[in-house]
């Protein structure tokens, strides 16, 4: 193994310095320096959503110490904080500690991830015993992957936390291996492992699984055990440290996953119809990336005939690579891809190839295999890089300015709407020039005081009672299937005063009902309609309402003839009244979640989200999706016997008679 402490040749620092300069300058080109510390959020696919919910969670962590809360801003009241968006945890904690806005934190994370991938590869190579030139070549290959591949598109489209977590796994593995081959005290290894593992988990739980695989590979060696008995104990204790640090915040998320398990199996495949095919295509496209193929060929040759100096490292790295790729292919082949996001694992597996490929390629560049091999290798790299640039169109700069039509629409909505009703904003899963990013996450920032039926894409608990309009689908049902009476009832139940639609089917259906919707303005592909029904946040009774995070204040309450007040806000078990009035739930077929009901209340009532009551169940029937919804799905031709996990097949488009009748 190369000893990095031995005497260094003169000018040894120049190559690493040039490499670091290349990495830092390339990262700096991703966002204008003047925009880094502004409050303008990144505007690419889902970043606006991440900014909003990160700020929300930073507030709940600072105020209650919990990573969840009741948010009336979206979806008629949601409890936000989800299992698969645990990636909000790290930036939320940073926001609570520093007081910085999430827009600043996420932009700094984006710059960091473009630096950390290539720098992490360089450090990992050094810690695994490669010499300086081999390590720089490994870092350069990682730099090319980060700048010219699926990874670059993922980072720029919103997956910065996930990618940042994955970028730490290989340096952690290599550093832990080196620490346990030196005379370092075991507690040093324990501290490094615990802190880094906690950070990785808070950024990306998927990376934690990869981390376990990598650390297990470090422990196993055919010739000798790399870890002494004390270090074996470290591997057992470090996860307990991670568990203790993160579990108080992640425990509610586990409960969420359990509560919604039936929904996940029943509806998720239907909503994302075709995702299995998409995952299969994306998986094979990722494996066929030109730069990946370019690295696999020399990496495999090095695996088959490794030099004596690096044989253990090459076998370990290639073994991890093969294990991850095989697992991903198995998951995708069985149709479970949408549940585990296989692209995230493949991204890490591809980066592993930088180690064996760098060893072999440096030998080629030194002429050990002849001039012909050298020329073909250089030409192969140029071709792979050029093809990657052609396919992925990299070097896009992060956008922080809204398109003109959306900016004008937001100004118009701010001037013409008020807080007496909600805005129904149509969302999409397929971003395009007409709908370039998920601007629903910007709404609370641009239209303060308003509430919105739209959820930014499909945010956590919102999917359990998806109330919104997405690509012509309203509440899981095509909007074309709604009768005028049902459309009017929907607007009443969700207190909708304005609709922003962009899909042709949605716009057409709203224009067909001039007695319900008045076209007001058009901004590019977006059409703004005013709902002619007088809106009210009270479904029964009347009064005044002021709803903010974790609190709903009611005044001037006037019950109906039955002594009831029903609010257009969802009820969760964590909600209670300050003065002790009982909260009851009432259902409606539009939504499996219950609405808040008060019986014979006083003139003023304060409803708060009490975190001491625990994280609530999302499905009202506790771990079972409401039978009325399952009945509707069966009418639609949806197979509901999904215990085998094979997914759902929709056989026909629903019609009006498939909708259940309202109960009140």
> pLDDT value at position 242?
62
Q: Is the pLDDT of residue 273 over 50?
A: no
Classify the phi-psi angles of 243: left when phi > 0, otherwise alpha if psi is within -120 to 50, otherwise beta.
alpha
Cα–Cα distance for residue pair 345/363, rounded to 1 Å:
29
Question: Counting beta carbons within 10 angstroms of the beta carbon of residue 644, is it exposed (0 to 12), middle (13 to 18) or buried (19 or more)?
Answer: exposed
Name which residue leads in pLDDT, 460 or 612: 612
Helix (H, G, I), strand (E, B) or coil at 170: helix
Residues in a beta bridge with 597 = 566, 584
Counting residues of the chain whose pLDDT is more than 70, the rounded percentage is 75
> What is the tens place of the pLDDT at every residue in 216-231?
787 765 444 445 555 5
pLDDT at 84: 44
In sequence order, the β-bridge partners of residue 554 are 545, 605
Which of 1-5, 260-264, 282-286 is predicted most confidently? 282-286
What is the per-residue DSSP string for 497-528? EEEEE-SHHHHHHHHT-TTTEEEEEEETTEEE
- Mean pLDDT, residues 15-34 taken together: 87
The lowest-confidence range among 345-349, 359-363, 395-399, 499-503 is 395-399
Tell me which residue of 450, 588, 414, 616 sits closest to 74, measured CA to CA: 450
- For the stretch 186-194, contacts whose Cβ atoms lie closer than 8 Å and that sit 24 or more positions apart, written own/partner, are 186/228, 186/230, 186/231, 186/233, 186/234, 189/231, 189/234, 190/234, 190/237, 190/238, 190/241, 193/234, 193/235, 193/238, 194/237, 194/238, 194/241, 194/242, 194/245
Q: Quick one: which of 141, 117, 143, 121 has its CA closest to 130? A: 121
The per-residue pLDDT for range 160-191, each reduced to its tens digit, is 888 998 999 999 889 888 877 766 566 677 77
Q: What is the per-residue pLDDT for 459?
A: 43
Reported as a single tens digit per residue, the pLDDT across 478-509 is 888 888 998 999 899 999 999 999 999 999 99
CA–CA separation, 220 and 158 (whole Å): 36
Burial 434-459 (b: 16+ CB within 10 A, else e): ebebbbbbbbbbbbeebbbbbbbbbb
Mean pLDDT within 372-382: 90
Tens digit of each residue's pLDDT (9 = 90 or more) over 71-94:
999 888 888 764 445 667 888 889
Buried b (16+ CB within 10 A) or exposed e, 283-306: beebbebbbbebbbbbbbbbbeeb
Residue 655 banded pLDDT, cuts 50, 70, 90: very low
601 has pLDDT over 90: yes
Give the count of beta carbons closer than 10 Å to the beta carbon of residue 492.
17
Q: Helices (DSSP H) in 577-626: which residue ranges? A: none
Token pair for residue 116? Answer: 């950390």
pLDDT band at residue 460 using 50, 70 and 90 as cut-offs: very low
Q: Higher-confidence residue: 243 or 448?
A: 448
Q: Which residues contact 281 (CB under 8 A, 6 or more apart)?
A: none
Lowest-confidence segment of 299-308, 402-411, 453-462 by average pLDDT = 453-462
Least-confidence region, from 316-330, 443-457, 572-586: 443-457
Residue 400 pLDDT greater than 80, yes or no: yes
List Cα–Cα distances, 537 to 34, 83, 595, in angstroms: 42, 30, 11
Q: Environment class of residue 652 by beta-carbon count within 10 Å: exposed (0-12), middle (13-18) or buried (19+)?
A: exposed
- Which pLDDT band holds residue 394 (cuts at 50, 70, 90)? low
| pLDDT of res. 627 | 47
131, with CB counted inside 10 A (0-12, 13-18, 19+), is: middle
Q: What is the pLDDT of residue 437?
A: 81
- Does the pLDDT value for residue 643 go beyond 80? no
DSSP letters along 80-140, please? E--STTGGGHHHHHHHHHH---HHHHHHHHHHHHHHHHHHHHHHHHHHTT--HHHHHHHHH
Per-residue pLDDT, averaged over 608-620, amounts to 75
Contacts of 467 (CB under 8 A, 6+ apart): 75, 76, 453, 455, 475, 494, 590, 591
User: Taking 90 as the threshold, does the pLDDT of residue 233 lie above it?
Assistant: no
Q: Higher model confidence: residue 414 or residue 631?
A: 414
Mean pLDDT of the chain: 79
Summarize the confidence of residues 96-104 as an average pLDDT: 92
| pLDDT score, position 581 | 93
| pLDDT of residue 259 exceeding 50 | no
**Stretch 416-421: mean pLDDT:** 93
Closest CA to 252 of 611, 621, 551: 611
Query: What is the pTM for the complete model shown?
Result: 0.83
- Are residues 134 and 367 in contact, defined by beta-carbon separation less than 8 angstroms? no
The phi, psi pair for 494, rounded to 5°, reads -95, 10
pLDDT of residue 620: 41
Q: Supply the Cα-derived Rg of the chain in whole angstroms.
A: 27
Q: What is the mean pLDDT of residues 267-282?
A: 54
The CA distance from 94 to 55, in Å, is 10
**Residue 578 in this model has a pLDDT that exceeds 60:** yes
Q: What digits encode the pLDDT tens for the residues 427-455?
A: 887 777 778 888 888 889 899 999 998 66
């Amino acid at each position: 193994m190369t000893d990095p402490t031995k005497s260094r040749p003169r000018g040894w620092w120049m190559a690493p310095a040039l490499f670091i300069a290349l990495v830092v300058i390339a990262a700096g080109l991703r966002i204008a320096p003047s925009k880094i510390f502004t409050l303008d959020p990144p505007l690419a696919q889902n970043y606006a959503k991440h900014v909003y919910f990160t700020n929300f969670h930073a507030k709940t962590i600072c105020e209650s110490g919990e990573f969840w809360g009741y948010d009336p801003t979206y979806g008629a009241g949601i409890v936000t904080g989800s299992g698969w968006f645990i990636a909000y945890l790290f930036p939320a904690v940073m926001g609570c500690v520093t007081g910085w806005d999430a827009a600043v934190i996420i932009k700094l994370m984006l710059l960091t991830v473009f630096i950390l991938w290539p720098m992490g590869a360089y450090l990992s190579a050094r810690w695994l015993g490669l010499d300086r030139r081999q390590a720089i070549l490994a870092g350069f290959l990682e730099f090319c992957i980060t700048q010219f591949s699926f990874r670059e598109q993922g980072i720029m489209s919103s997956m910065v936390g996930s990618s940042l977590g994955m970028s730490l796994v290989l340096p952690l593995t290599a550093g832990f291996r080196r620490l346990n081959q030196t005379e370092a005290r075991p507690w040093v290894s324990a501290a490094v492992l615990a802190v880094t593992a906690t950070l990785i988990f808070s950024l990306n739980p998927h990376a934690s699984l990869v981390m376990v695989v990598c650390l297990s590979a470090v422990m196993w060696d055919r010739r000798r055990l790399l870890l002494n008995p004390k270090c074996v104990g470290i591997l057992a204790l470090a996860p307990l440290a991670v568990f203790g640090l993160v579990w108080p915040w992640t425990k509610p998320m586990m409960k969420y996953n359990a509560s919604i398990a039936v929904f996940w199996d029943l509806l998720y495949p239907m909503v994302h119809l075709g995702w299995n095919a998409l995952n299969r295509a994306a998986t094979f496209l990722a494996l066929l990336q030109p730069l990946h193929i370019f690295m696999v060929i020399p990496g495999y040759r090095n695996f088959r005939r490794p030099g004596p100096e690096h044989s253990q490292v090459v076998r370990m790295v290639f073994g991890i690579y093969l294990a991850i790729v095989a697992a991903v292919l198995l998951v995708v082949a069985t149709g479970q891809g949408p549940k585990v996001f296989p692209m995230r694992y493949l991204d890490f597996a591809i980066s592993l190839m930088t180690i064996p490929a760098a060893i072999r390629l440096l030998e080629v560049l030194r002429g050990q295999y002849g001039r012909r091999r050298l020329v073909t290798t250089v030409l192969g790299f140029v071709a792979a890089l050029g093809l990657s640039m052609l396919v992925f169109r990299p070097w896009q700069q992060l956008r922080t300015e809204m398109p003109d039509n959306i900016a004008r629409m937001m100004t118009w909505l701010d001037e013409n709407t008020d807080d007496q009703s909600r805005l129904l904003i149509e969302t999409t899963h397929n971003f395009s020039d007409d709908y370039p990013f998920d601007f629903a996450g910007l709404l609370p920032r641009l239209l303060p005081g308003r509430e919105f039926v739209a959820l930014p894409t499909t945010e956590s608990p919102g999917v359990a009672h998806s109330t919104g309009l997405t690509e012509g689908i309203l509440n899981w049902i095509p909007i074309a299937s709604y009768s005028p009476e049902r459309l009017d009832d929907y607007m009443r139940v969700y207190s909708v005063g304005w609709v922003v639609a962009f899909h042709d089917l949605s716009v057409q259906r709203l224009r067909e009902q001039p007695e319900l919707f008045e076209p007001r303005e058009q901004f590019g592909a977006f059409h703004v309609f005013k709902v002619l029904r007088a809106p009210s946040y009270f479904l029964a009774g009347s009064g005044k309402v002021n709803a903010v995070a974790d609190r709903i204040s009611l005044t001037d309450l006037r019950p109906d003839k039955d002594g009831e007040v029903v609010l257009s806000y969802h009820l969760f078990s964590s909600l209670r009244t300050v003065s002790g009035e009982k909260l009851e739930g009432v259902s409606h077929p539009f939504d499996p979640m219950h609405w808040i009901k008060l019986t014979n209340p006083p003139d003023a009532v304060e409803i708060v989200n009490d975190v001491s009551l625990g994280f609530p169940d999302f499905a009202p029937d506790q771990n079972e999706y409401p039978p009325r919804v399952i009945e509707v799905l069966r009418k639609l031709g949806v197979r509901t016997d999904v215990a085998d996990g094979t997914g759902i097949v929709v056989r026909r488009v629903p019609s009006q008679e498939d909708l259940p009748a309202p109960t009140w």
